[in-house]
Amino acid sequence: MKKIVLIILVASVMVLPNLAFAQVLGGSSIPSTVNTPRDDVFDHIHTEFKKPVPYSPIRQADVIYSKRVWQIIDFREKINQPFYYPLKDHLRWKSFMSVIYSAVKSGELTAYDSFVDDEFTSPMSVSQVEELLAGTEKSQAQYDEDNNYVGEKIIHVGQFEISEVKKLKIKEIWYFDKQKSQMQVRVLGLCPVWEYFDVDTQVARSRDMFWIYFPEARYVLARAEVFNRKNGAERRTYDDIFWKRMFSSYVYKEENVYDRLVSQYALGMEALIESERIKNDLFEMEQNMWEY
């Protein structure tokens, strides 16, 4: 019996050092047959299995005021640049659109048709999403070095590129919880805006790609790291960015009886002023609930 125990201990000592260096791509410490060097001083396992912070329960009777607001996050603003970069995926660091698009193609997230509505009523299949972003097939004449016609080649015009997504629409609801006596906000949906150049008309265009239900997307975003400019050891996730409101945005629509956009009754500087007015109204609503 003692010999059996001794043999097991010796075998364990010989196996453990090998397991310490057996890491999957991404720097995880989980044993794997893939043997890669660790690109850091520690194993990045805190976000690999991270789950989003659950929403606190709320009753309908506790909500005494609510308003739906639609905003746009422009990735070209400095504070929003962590959404846009990197243009090429790293081991653990990917752009926001790369994370979302990969999850949609794998079936982990459901895309909803933005041409129908923004209320998540028309789910799209993976093939529909790929067809939407594949562009149009066109035949192009091919010639040899002597300018002799050699045949036709099928090319794709207007094919989707992740780097062409520079804006993100968010649909959220602001509400006042009388139990907590504070104004709170929850994001309901996300819609990437695809900006591309139309070769046929020679005009720059933009289109809403699809809507993503945010509570479903939180489980994907909580595992996706975001670059931190000030501290590389503190890797935030995209879910943290939305949870802590660490982005800049402007309102392009508020809930109204006409169901119209801000751009339909205000342009240029007036539209920006109207956007700030809507935000200020939400702030003042909370202040007016208090008595001093």
Does position 39 have pLDDT exceeding 80, yes or no?
no
CA-closest candidate to residue 170, choices 204, 132, 104, 217: 217
What average pLDDT does this structure show over 141-145? Answer: 72
Instruction: Give residue 20's pLDDT.
Output: 40
Write the pLDDT tens digit of every residue in 59-74. Answer: 999 999 999 999 999 9
pLDDT band (50, 70, 90) for residue 190:
very high
Question: Could you tell me the two tokens for 271?
Answer: 């539209």
pTM attached to this predicted model: 0.78
pLDDT band (50, 70, 90) for residue 51:
confident
Instruction: Give residue 212's pLDDT.
Output: 97
Q: Give the integer Cα–Cα distance in Å for 11 and 5.
A: 10
Does position 1 have pLDDT exceeding 60, yes or no?
no
Does position 241 have pLDDT exceeding 50, yes or no?
yes
pLDDT band (50, 70, 90) for residue 3:
low
Q: Give the integer Cα–Cα distance in Å for 112 and 4.
A: 60
Buried b (16+ CB within 10 A) or exposed e, 216-230: ebbebbbbbbbeeee
CA-closest candidate to residue 191, choices 103, 118, 142: 118
User: How high is the mean pLDDT of the chain?
Assistant: 82
Instruction: Give residue 37's pLDDT.
Output: 78
Does position 217 have pLDDT exceeding 90, yes or no?
yes
Does position 33 have pLDDT exceeding 80, yes or no?
no
